Amino acid sequence: MNIEVRMFMKYREFLPPNSSNGKVTVTLKEGSTFSDLMALFAVPMDEPKLVVINGISQGVSVKVNQATLKDGDIVAVFPPAGGG
C-alpha cells in the first residue's frame, strides 16, 4: 500500500533524499501502523509530535501509534506548538 508522508520543521531531517518539499510516498505492507511508519524513518517514538491523518488531527497517544494505515492515506507529522 502507498502512503504519502509529509513532515514539517525538524521532522523533515528524517525524510530520505528523494523527498520533495517535505513529502515522500512510501510503500508499506498491509496492516502497517503509524509506529511502523515512524520506524521506517527512524523517528523516535518518545519524541513529541502532532499527527494528522487525512486532514484530521489525531494528537499523539498509544491509540495513534497503533493506528492501522490504509492505502492512499496522507500522514503529516508536526512538532508540537507552544505559546501563551
Averaged pLDDT score across all residues of the chain: 91
Instruction: Give this prediction's pTM.
Output: 0.90
Bridge partners of 76, per DSSP, are: 6, 52
pLDDT above 90 covers a percentage of the chain that reads 71
Where do the domains of the chain lie, and which CATH numbers do they carry?
A: 2-78 (3.10.20.30)
What is the predicted pLDDT for the residue at 81? 75
**Residues 58 and 33: beta-carbon distance below 8 Å:** no
What is the predicted pLDDT for the residue at 54? 97
Taking Cα atoms as reference points, which of 62, 58, 60, 66 lies closest to residue 47?
60
